[in-house]
A = this chain, B = another copy of it.
Amino acid sequence: MLAISQRGQAMPASPIRKLVPYAEAAKKKGTKVYHLNIGQPDIETPKMVLDAVRNSDFKVLEYSHSAGNESYRKKLVGYYQSVGIDVNHQQIIITTGGSEAILFGFMACLDAGDEVIIPEPFYANYNGFAVAAGVNVVPVTSHIENGFALPPIEEFEKKITPRTKAIVICNPNNPTGYLYSADEMEQLKNIILRHNLYLFSDEAYREFCYDGHQVSALHLKGVDNHVIIMDTISKRYSACGGRIGAFITRNQSVLDAAMKFAQARLSPPSFAQIAGEAAIDLPADYFDTTKAEYRSRRDLLVKRLNAMEGVFCPNPGGAFYAIAKLPIDDADTFCQWLLESFDYEQQTVMLAPATGFYGTPGLGKQEVRLAYVLNLDDINKAMDCLEAALKVYPGKQ
């Protein structure tokens, strides 16, 4: 018998995508489904970004430099300066989405059997890249009661072993929307210095902060060799399909190692590098409009959720996700039931059970993640559905 690999078996299926067949069945029955389950923004990609690709006039779709086009990397230096991050273009490797930046980081810094500590709930695909790299994810639990703030230092230190090599954060966070404070970032700095760890910081949602500013891991002083940033244009410019991200570090050895992985896959996508480069010239107020839109959505979503009986949703400081606690027996059952057995005026809502975002089995059973990637009107309608559903759900608690 030919067998697949153990890591192929260990690889988790996407917790977000497993409900898709139920959504498709609901749609076939004529039910309108509001998708609050995935982080695909409805915001239009800026026209000038798409036009840059459409108006390109090269004749050969060539490989780019393995680190990405030099012109793009040089312009990115200006973008990072504008957010207070001082790096040069040789400290940037353009990656195929933020995903590849995560993979390069794990591959360059971690060996099979090494451990990374990640505050949970966390972006579920970190599990996938950890399995690919043979790395063990050690969760440290953050709690909905205090809005998913950074767990106390002692909780991290309890988890540190001789195999611990890194802490991974996502800031602002997917799936909680939590924005780490300057004080929390200093705490992280102290841990990584004391225990000589890498800090992988996923900053995909840097611009999406509603009640303050992001403190980047690259703003921290004295930890140049410890910090690796994973970045992406996906959410920033609503350009998820471009598959353009960035791996950034001031640690030369890590850069050199990551570069060898970059060379093996030849180059990042050429078309979308043009889009990414054009996006840097967007007017300074581009994010103002987008951010104002997301802030309104957040405010509406959180208000509607907290007005429902037995529901609690902390106010997320950034990104475009919120996790809410619902008066239900089991989030997986509930989310499937919403699609399979419920409708409100021929409409329903698709949510992501939070269980898939926890590393500790059994956590998140009463929680769901909501991505507020729909307009205000649709969010209202989706909340009408959820409110009606919670009144009749058989597993209500």
A interface residues, Cβ below 8 angstroms from B: 1-9, 11-14, 17, 40-45, 49-50, 53-56, 58-64, 66, 96-97, 99-100, 103, 107-112, 114, 125, 128-129, 132, 134, 196, 198, 225-226, 238-243, 251, 253-254, 256-258, 260-261, 263-272, 275
Contact = CB atoms under 8 A, between A and B. Distances in A.
Contacts of A56: 54
A136 to B, nearest CB: 14
A231 B284 CA distance: 42
Contacts of A270: 241-243, 272
Contacts of A96: 96, 243, 265, 269
10 contacts: A4-B257, A5-B111, A5-B114, A61-B242, A96-B265, A97-B265, A242-B269, A243-B243, A271-B272, A271-B275
Given A100-B265, A107-B132, 19 more contacts: A2-B251, A4-B253, A8-B254, A8-B257, A42-B60, A43-B60, A45-B59, A53-B53, A61-B272, A97-B266, A125-B264, A128-B260, A128-B263, A128-B264, A240-B267, A241-B270, A242-B271, A243-B267, A243-B269
Contacts of A114: 5
A157 to B, nearest CB: 18
List the 5 closest A-B pairs by CB distance, nearest first: A128-B264, A241-B270, A8-B257, A271-B271, A269-B269
Most buried by B among A226, A251, A261: A261
Contacts of A9: 257
Contacts of A66: 14, 17
A170 to B, nearest CB: 15
A18 B14 CA distance: 39
Nearest to A98: B266
A242 B63 CA distance: 8
Number of copies of this kind of chain in the complex:
2
A11 to B, nearest CB: 4
Contacts of A196: 1-2
A239 B271 CA distance: 11
A91 to B, nearest CB: 15
B267 A61 contact: no
A61 B240 contact: yes
Nearest to A270: B241
Contacts of A99: 264-266
A62 B241 contact: yes
Nearest to A263: B14
A40 B4 CA distance: 34
Contacts of A8: 107-109, 254, 257-258, 260-261
A381 to B, nearest CB: 20
A178 B238 CA distance: 45
Given A61-B275, A111-B7, A226-B2, A267 B241 contact: yes
A189 B195 CA distance: 52
Given A269-B241, A271-B53, A11 B264 contact: yes
Nearest to A56: B54
A264 B60 contact: no
A56 B64 CA distance: 23
Contacts of A268: 243
Contacts of A263: 13-14, 17, 125, 128
Nearest to A38: B63
A163 B389 CA distance: 54
A43 B61 CA distance: 10
A42 B258 CA distance: 29
A107 B226 contact: no
Contacts of A103: 265
